[in-house]
Structure 1
Amino acid sequence: FSENEAVFNTSAETVLNYNKYAKDFPNFILGEVKVSPKNDKVAYVFDKHGEESHTLAIDNIPSGESSIKHHIETDSEDKKCRQINRHVVGTDPADDVVTFAEPDITTMASVQEGDEYIILNSGHSSGLSLYVIPRDAPYNPWQPLLLGQLGMSASLDEAQGRAILHIHDAQEKTTTFYYVSAHMLRAISEGWRHDLRHFPVICRSNADVAYLGSGMKGRYYYYIKDVKFQQSIVVHKFSPNDPAGYSQTWLVVDLGRRRGEVQAELFGSNKNVILRVTTSSPGRMTKVVEYNLNTRISAVVHDTVHPTANMDDYVESIIEMPQQFRVQDLMLADQGFVMAHAHIRGGGGTALTAVANMAPGAFQAGIAGMPFTDVLGSLLEEKLAHSDWLEFGNPKNATVFEYIRGYNPYDNIRKQKYPHLLLTTALHDPRVPYWDPAKFVAKLRAHKTDDNMLFLSTDMSGGHFTTKDEVSAKMKKIRMLCFLFKALGVNWRDVYATAPPAVEVHRT
């Protein structure tokens, strides 16, 4: 729906009909949606098949007629964007001008909008560079705000010309928040050179504090923090008379002990900013509270219970995951299971399939979702760009080659007994192609000397993140549970827990 202050009290206006586009594509994914300032056009990005091949469209409101559609420039092999084009609405996409091209094949680029600046992010998990141009001068060249360093990642929130720069040190596990004034940000956009010593430090965390999100709008800035599993949202208010950038901690929302997901967003006009906080508990109770940041008055706008449970768990080599338990764990605890979560950095499924080779007797069954089983073969593929070199190492180095080959799941399959295994994949997955787990299963079938179960479950229509409907998603979860119970020889017990089992979480 389109929200415009001039017509806020009139009937709602549809700007984009998701069902219209998704009805013929079961794995349709809608990306970012932006409405023009005059509310006459809507720009959006979509992926028809879940294969991360995106199309940009600009539709007229309210007719819904598309004035332009063209493919976003990404690498044809690894689907990563390294080129930023400038498009003028109403012109032929073939006339678009390349404004930024990243020569380093280990990186990727993206663009975000602030109030007064366009921000370009370019880099990888271990180092990110930031560039800016004023929104009112889109033909200007990109100017560097921060040039990335190894071991550091960065992001920027901007509103009304000023910004907060976050720099995360992955090794030290610390995050530093810098204030960039409107005057300084304008100077940077005009080519002024600087370093971090020019920016006042707002706050700096230690290893016990995790920052889970942030945002800016108008005179307000918020961040979500987690201190030893105690969560809160802190709001600062900018003051034009304060050289440090903010006058005080304006609002603190105490969320208590972490029990599920927390999301926050700022919306409304710059003069009347609303903070919307959405929390979901392990019982899938969803609560939405809105805070008027001018008055600091709150109101519960949504409070309900969803009887479904989410048991998906995606692990990637570049992601630092917060320690948490899932609803599935509590249900399995009622059945007598004991759970231990190991946060192992290195491609989803790689650890499980590697351990199956190294110590097959260490466990009885394993489920590898979208597993990356041929690390060495993928890293040696010349047509692919390897941002993973920074995580796994460059196999063109002889020492690194031998090290990777020493644990690479596909290369280390041998004639021995293996535990029960279930591997999953998807036909349109560009991140872990279906042939990776498929060839692992084929080789394993030819070598294993036991009669244990070995399954490959392939989604013939989905991608890495997609499932065509809710029923299919639930069937995947049920299939995994059935495999797990059968592999372990466990019968479902008809138990009713009057209270959820006590769960202790220990930081190691």
Structure 2
Amino acid sequence: MLPLGTITPAPASATLEIMSTEPATPAAALTPPHARAERTEHRIHGHVLADDYAWLRQKDSPETIAWLQAENAYTEAVMAPTAELQKQLYDEMVSHIKETDVSVPFLDGAFWYYSRTEQGRQYPIYCRKPAHGPVFDDTATEEILLDINALAEKESYFAIGAMTISDDGHLLAFSTDTTGFRQYTLHVKDLRTGEILSERAERVGSVVWAADNRTLFYTVEDPEQKRQFQFFRHVLGTPHTEDELVFEEKDERFNIGAGRTRDGEFLILQSSSHTTSEEQFLRAGSPTAAWTLIEPRRDNIEYYVNHRHGHWYIRANDTGRNFRLVSAPEATPSRQHWTEIIPHRDDVMLEEVDLFAGFCVAFERRQGLEHLRVIHFPGEGPAFGQSNEIAFPEPAYTTHPHINRVFDTTRYRYAYQSLVTPSSVYEYDTATGQTTLLKQLEVPGGFDRTLYTSERIFAQASDGVEVPISLVYRKDSFERGKNPLWVYGYGSYGYPLPMGFNSNRLSLLDRGFVLAYAHIRGGGDMGKPWHDAGRLIHKRNTFTDFIAVTEHLAAHGYGDPARIAAEGGSAGGLLMGAIVNLRPDLYRAIVSHVPFVDVMNTMLDASLPLTVPEYEEWGNPNEPEAFEYMLSYSPYDNLKAASYPAILVKTSLNDSQVMYWEPAKYVAKLRTLKQDNHLLLLHTNMSAGHGGASGRYDYLKEIAFDYAFLLRELGIVSL
């Protein structure tokens, strides 16, 4: 164990104190573990894929576990001088959290529902109070539905999956995961007695009640492919073995999920791949009736349905990638009966339509930013009336629907936050046009939002495309060209990068960091075409966009070119692996969470969970053209003898999305090739999954560790 050093954080003031610009060097006495090499070969398309570390896939092998533990011990020893700094960062982050707090209650049936947290307890407590009218009565008697702290008392990891209550409010169906592998067990609780009933099912995903308060539908995961593929009907009080299989999805590209329309009239069963979907419905009051298909699936066409007053409202991308909205009579929902309400637009992504008795809210993304358009229905038919847009004042923000369970209402709740504005819940009155702030997350510990500013700028990619960047920094510590710069990216699956508030990052901002979020191709920030331009045969755009963003920021003085860090996780970890292979000189430190770096070996193994569905995102390497292209960027396969930045790689033993052995193999191979003295650290959480620790305090300790690594490597602290 190394002795603790003296920690000197950079002051949060207009003058930024800069420590050494040379990377921190581990003590010579510390020697990183080296995994033994055992060569395996895979011959395909005229290539030989050699892999010296495939043996690390043997999760039950004592040798594998011993090597992971040795890497953890090395990481702990190297980071020991930052122990005091980690505690300081952890204490800072806790100080910015209102530890005892309560969420905004929402009305559903005869109750107001909410969750609350208590100081010192890791997990939320889910509660309700009886509704004595349209206004929440805080003096009403509280009923605890689930105290997650009690459920997790003997578990090192605990997560809730589904939570849904029967129409009469008497029964709670919920699912739990105690390993992090995202494999959930279904339970049913009688809220009248507090008893957990004998009902139980394994590997459960979606859970939905029929209107009779005794029939429960649920989806089940294929244990081999780890996709939801079967749909069962269960009648309360009957043995699980008698549950009827309603539907089975045979196509390995597709997952299924179930829900219920907001008006409560219908259950919806969806089958979807990354690019294609179809839905079928069942009247909620007739749980034993036959299901009806809306429209048969067609490759590369997605559609999503809701229901109002005898009409289906269908968001579909059949006439353009960015979706349109159509309606159809309840009795004849197929495509030949569709009537267009909102047309497809090349420059506007129709992301969602929230449907109510007298209005709907269209979530539209324009130039990478979300807009809410409230549209009134003058009658019960699908014809639109007056519409108006809810305006947002900041250059970079994120908004999404809040919990709106009441169908026949004039009030709509939405969530809003930005890089400088804490998470907020608003209620919009569609009758008056007035907006009311119901709650804004309180940030204790001296947070003053006026000290921070956000910007939205654009960088030009190598092919001339303008890539958006969102920025946040402290105004009084910004000195052009001198600040440490942190760049974050994801860029996959059409997922738009949310521009939300995170009080944890005050620990970086208050030490002079400029934080930049790169809205690169492959994500959904500019609609479906933006996703298309960064997947399959265009995937390299994701990586070159991120590099172009970094170069633009450095060239325009948003950071010190010698102190640039990058971070990403999962598919964003693939991004991290690709950029350090392409431009290792550009970055001084990399934090890579659960990184998808072993692209070829994973995508060539169809027995692994998620591989076949992922063909639509990355390509099928069994096809020569796709193989050649994927091989050209696969981080593990493109490691070479070179100097690399300081790299922290984090994974979890029970990760179900990116198996632990991908980052483990990556680090093992890179140790044999790197020609520098920069840190290369691997940390494996031995009792968690893809998202890391489940408890909120445990999670903050993980973040404090990451930040200590960044502060050390970018010279913000002296140890």
Deviations 1:309-335 (A, max 9, x none): 999978373133147487649955973
What is the aligned counterpart of 2:331 among 155, 165, 186? Answer: 186
Residues 1:408 and 2:408 aligned together: no
Deviations 1:467-490 (A, max 9, x none): 233333223323223323333334
Q: Against the structure 1 CA distance between its residues 79 and 475, is the aligned structure 2 distance closer, same or farther, given a 3 Å change threshold?
A: same
1:66 CA displacement: 1.8
Q: Against the structure 1 CA distance between its residues 466 and 422, is the aligned structure 2 distance closer, same or farther, given a 3 Å change threshold?
A: closer
Task: Tell me which residue corresponds to 2:316.
Answer: 167
3-state DSSP of counterpart to 1:174: coil
Task: Tell me which residue corresponds to 2:201.
Answer: 70
Residues 1:319 and 2:458 aligned together: no
1:57 CA displacement: 1.5
Q: Against the structure 1 CA distance between its residues 95 and 258, is the aligned structure 2 distance closer, same or farther, given a 3 Å change threshold?
A: farther
For the 8 Å contact 2:227–2:255, the answer to whether it is kept is yes
Q: Which residue identity lines up with residue 195 of structure 2 in the other structure?
A: E
Q: Against the structure 1 CA distance between its residues 246 and 50, is the aligned structure 2 distance closer, same or farther, given a 3 Å change threshold?
A: farther
Q: Against the structure 1 CA distance between its residues 69 and 421, is the aligned structure 2 distance closer, same or farther, given a 3 Å change threshold?
A: same
Task: Tell me which residue corresponds to 2:131.
Answer: 8
| Structure 1 vs Structure 2 CA RMSD | 3.3
For the 8 Å contact 2:656–2:689, the answer to whether it is kept is yes
Task: Tell me which residue corresponds to 1:277.
Answer: 414
Determine the C-alpha separation between the residues in 1 that align with 2:187 and 2:651. Answer: 30
What is the aligned counterpart of 2:239 among 87, 92, 95? Answer: 92
Larger radius of gyration: 2
Task: Tell me which residue corresponds to 2:254.
Answer: 107
For the 8 Å contact 2:301–2:316, the answer to whether it is kept is yes
Determine the C-alpha separation between the residues in 1 that align with 2:188 and 2:389. Answer: 39
1:411 CA displacement: 2.1
What is the aligned counterpart of 2:301 among 130, 145, 152? Answer: 152
Determine the C-alpha separation between the residues in 2 that align with 1:34 and 1:261. Answer: 27
Task: Tell me which residue corresponds to 2:279.
Answer: 130
Q: Against the structure 1 CA distance between its residues 422 and 266, is the aligned structure 2 distance closer, same or farther, given a 3 Å change threshold?
A: closer
Determine the C-alpha separation between the residues in 2 that align with 1:446 and 1:432. Answer: 23
Task: Tell me which residue corresponds to 1:496.
Answer: none
For the 8 Å contact 1:229–1:257, the answer to whether it is kept is no
Determine the C-alpha separation between the residues in 1 that align with 2:514 and 2:394. Answer: 24
Task: Tell me which residue corresponds to 2:364.
Answer: 225
Aligned positions of 1:248-287 closer than 5 A: 248-249=385-386, 252-257=389-394, 259-265=396-402, 267=404, 269-287=406-424
Determine the C-alpha separation between the residues in 2 that align with 1:116 and 1:89. Answer: 21
For the 8 Å contact 2:491–2:519, the answer to whether it is kept is no
What is the aligned counterpart of 2:187 among 57, 78, 82? Answer: 57
Q: Which moved more, 1:363-372 or 1:21-30?
A: 21-30
Residues 1:469 and 2:695 aligned together: yes
Q: Which moved more, 1:16-25 or 1:131-140?
A: 16-25
Determine the C-alpha separation between the residues in 2 that align with 1:266 and 1:294. Answer: 19
1:127 CA displacement: 0.9
Highest RCO, 1 vs 2 (Cα 8 Å, sep ≥ 6): 2
Task: Tell me which residue corresponds to 2:439.
Answer: 302
For the 8 Å contact 1:272–1:292, the answer to whether it is kept is no
Q: Against the structure 1 CA distance between its residues 33 and 239, is the aligned structure 2 distance closer, same or farther, given a 3 Å change threshold?
A: farther
Task: Tell me which residue corresponds to 2:213.
Answer: none
1:255 CA displacement: 2.6
Determine the C-alpha separation between the residues in 2 that align with 1:472 and 1:207. Answer: 44
For the 8 Å contact 2:399–2:417, the answer to whether it is kept is yes
Aligned positions of 1:199-210 closer than 5 A: 199-210=338-349
Determine the C-alpha separation between the residues in 1 that align with 2:171 and 2:162. Answer: 14
Q: Which residue identity lines up with residue 518 of structure 2 in the other structure?
A: H
Task: Tell me which residue corresponds to 2:373.
Answer: 234
Q: Against the structure 1 CA distance between its residues 420 and 460, is the aligned structure 2 distance closer, same or farther, given a 3 Å change threshold?
A: same
Q: Against the structure 1 CA distance between its residues 464 and 215, is the aligned structure 2 distance closer, same or farther, given a 3 Å change threshold?
A: same
1:210 CA displacement: 3.8
1:33 CA displacement: 1.9
For the 8 Å contact 1:371–1:437, the answer to whether it is kept is yes
3-state DSSP of counterpart to 1:126: coil
Q: Which residue identity lines up with residue 361 of structure 1 in the other structure?
A: D
Q: Which residue identity lines up with residue 221 of structure 1 in the other structure?
A: C
Q: Against the structure 1 CA distance between its residues 8 and 355, is the aligned structure 2 distance closer, same or farther, given a 3 Å change threshold?
A: closer
Determine the C-alpha separation between the residues in 2 that align with 1:169 and 1:426. Answer: 40
The alignment's TM-score, normalised by the length of structure 2, stands at 0.61
Determine the C-alpha separation between the residues in 1 that align with 2:498 and 2:322. Answer: 17
What is the aligned counterpart of 1:381 among 598, 601, 605? Answer: 605
For the 8 Å contact 1:224–1:232, the answer to whether it is kept is yes
Determine the C-alpha separation between the residues in 1 that align with 2:271 and 2:332. Answer: 21
Determine the C-alpha separation between the residues in 2 that align with 1:301 and 1:338. Answer: 29
Residues 1:487 and 2:713 aligned together: yes
For the 8 Å contact 1:57–1:69, the answer to whether it is kept is yes
Deviations 1:441-478 (A, max 9, x none): 01111222222110112222221124233333223323
1:268 CA displacement: 5.7
Deviations 1:85-122 (A, max 9, x none): 11112111111111111111111111111121111111
1:26 CA displacement: 4.5
1:417 CA displacement: 2.4
1:307 CA displacement: 4.8
For the 8 Å contact 1:78–1:431, the answer to whether it is kept is no
Q: Against the structure 1 CA distance between its residues 237 and 464, is the aligned structure 2 distance closer, same or farther, given a 3 Å change threshold?
A: same
Q: Which residue identity lines up with residue 512 of structure 2 in the other structure?
A: Q
For the 8 Å contact 2:423–2:501, the answer to whether it is kept is no
Q: Against the structure 1 CA distance between its residues 313 and 427, is the aligned structure 2 distance closer, same or farther, given a 3 Å change threshold?
A: farther
3-state DSSP of counterpart to 2:288: coil
Task: Tell me which residue corresponds to 2:53.
Answer: none
Aligned positions of 1:489-504 closer than 5 A: 489-491=715-717
Task: Tell me which residue corresponds to 2:518.
Answer: 341
For the 8 Å contact 2:356–2:408, the answer to whether it is kept is no
Task: Tell me which residue corresponds to 2:625.
Answer: 399
User: Once the two structures are aligned, what percentage of the paired residues are identical?
Assistant: 22
Determine the C-alpha separation between the residues in 2 that align with 1:230 and 1:186. Answer: 37
The alignment's TM-score, normalised by the length of structure 1, stands at 0.84
